[in-house]
Structure 1
Amino acid sequence: MMVPVRCFTCGNVVSEHWEAYKSRVEDGEDPAAVLDDLGVERHCCRRMLVSHTDLVDVVAPYQ
């Protein structure tokens, strides 16, 4: 589905980093280096971005 707005564990906003993270990883950059560069330091917040699967385009036709 859509990327969560906040981290489930600590409550920090993580959705603001999703587009930059997604595009840079698709261009071939290392995910850990991208998260470091974006300033996402906590492990729980990093988990939210690394483990997210974007299914909006798959589910949207069925709504």
Structure 2
Amino acid sequence: MGLDVGADGNGTSGTMGSHVIGNKWDTYLDLLQADYSEGDALDALGLIRYCCRRMLMTHVDLIEKLLNYNTLERNVTDG
């Protein structure tokens, strides 16, 4: 199980289904910032299947942290 990861680092669909959900991540975060509960935000996005809901609720957005590790630059400076 897992996510197919798009170029932006966001999961695009669950491996067991064909529903695209990666494009809903930013809207989900916006709804949470607008004081929606997690369940209400997922309902507003039309995500009713538990597997789709799980993909957003358990996603950990690590792309910004990973971009801090430029291995090519480190290899050049190390010698």
TM-score above 0.5, yes or no: yes
Tell me how large the CA RMSD over aligned residues is.
1.6
Larger radius of gyration: 2
TM-score normalised by L of structure 1: 0.86
More helix by share: 1
> Number of residue pairs matched?
63
The residue number in structure 2 matching 1:44 is 51
TM-score normalised by L of structure 2: 0.70
| Structure 2, unpaired ranges of 5+ | 71-79
| Structure 1, unpaired ranges of 5+ | none
Identity of aligned residues (%): 29
- Structure 1 stretches of 4+ with a deviation exceeding 2 A read none
More strand by share: 2
